[in-house]
Amino acid sequence: MQIRQLEIFRAVMQAGSTSGAADSLNISQPAVSRMIKHTETVLAIKLFERVGGRLHATPEAHQLMEEIEPLFISLEGVRERIKDIQSGATGNLRIVATSNMASTVIAQGLSRFFDHREKFQISLHVKRWENVIEFVERGVADLGFVFSPKEIPSHSLNAQPVGMGRMVCVMPEDHPLASQTVIRPSDLRSHRFVKLETGSPLGSLIDKSFQQFEEDLPFTVETRYCQTACDLTQAISGVTIVDELTARRNRQYGLVIRRYIPQINLLAHVIFSKNRPVSIAMKKLISQVEASFLDYTMAGPPETP
């Protein structure tokens, strides 16, 4: 017996006629009749009889229907599961990201990702740049998202660009420097400066920009994370230099953004193992994060005059 034979038999039982079964299966009525006759021959069981011009199922047909119905219920479940797998609608992913990306483009990307994936589960860990690399290398995470001023180890990892950004200057809207459209290292001399930690990926880029202008600026507070730098900048009425994503997120809290020169460009990457296949769900999430970056780009420059 083949599944197709049972499927046609079931369709006739449900429709009560060969014509109804043919319509539901999108095949011809003669094809249904031939398959029913063939099934009766194979099983050596009379399944249907015509009484008064109408088709009636035999008691044996009803018994067979009871036996096969659980099979088709399971088969429908398998088909639905296959659709979910094809669309990446179910499953789970482990993500690790730096804080500036986790709270901005990844959060926005996840809001879109979950639109049609209510059964999906995401585990998101926020870590330092070095730990993001480590988590993906060790297989603790499926995907890692970072701004990549440093070289990413290539022997075991793939690094795919997902967007671009830059470093900008941030301060309270009533700060003296808020009247300027461009901020240079020399402009920061007489102000409280919240500096990203020396040795951190983004902090090192800022240090290099000071060296380029031959400036050695004392800082008021040094911190590792861009969001913390913004919080401190607000608290002490200072000024800081952070990535554009974090800066945009903090405009709602009364901070303004100004262009920083020398310009520090950033390239964001998604990182995944060379030794494990990339799933449909992983590809879907990556595309949503890319779309979120595009939204930031389309929004135009964040600076206000």
What is the structure's pLDDT at 215?
Answer: 80
- Encode pLDDT of 207-259 as tens digits: 999 988 888 778 899 999 999 999 999 999 999 999 999 999 888 888 999 99
Domain final residue pick, 69, 87, 105: 87
Which tokens in the block code for residue 15? 């429709």
Check if the beta carbon of residue 195 is closer than 8 Å to that of residue 240: yes
Instruction: Write the CATH number for 256.
Output: 3.40.190.10
Question: Which range marks the domain in which residue 56 is found?
Answer: 3-87
* More confident position, 235 or 304: 235
Is the Cβ–Cβ distance between 234 and 252 less than 8 Å? no
Q: SS3 of 136, please? A: helix
Q: Is 2 left (phi over 0), alpha (psi -120 to 50) or beta?
A: beta
Q: Both 176 and 148 in a single domain?
A: no
The tokens for 67 are 């036996």
Whether this prediction's pTM lies above 0.75 is answered by no
> What integer pLDDT is reported at residue 75 of this predicted model?
80
Residue 303 falls inside a structural domain: no
Q: How many domains does the chain have?
A: 3
CA atoms of 8 and 32, how far apart (whole Å): 7
> Do 171 and 254 fall within a single domain?
yes
Please identify which residue in the block is written with the tokens 């880029």. Answer: 205
Same domain, 128 and 103: yes
Domain membership of residue 188 (yes or no) is yes
Q: Tell me the pLDDT band of 18, cut-offs 50, 70 and 90.
A: confident
pLDDT digits (tens, 9 = 90+) for 165-218: 899 999 999 999 999 999 999 999 889 999 999 888 899 999 999 988 888 778
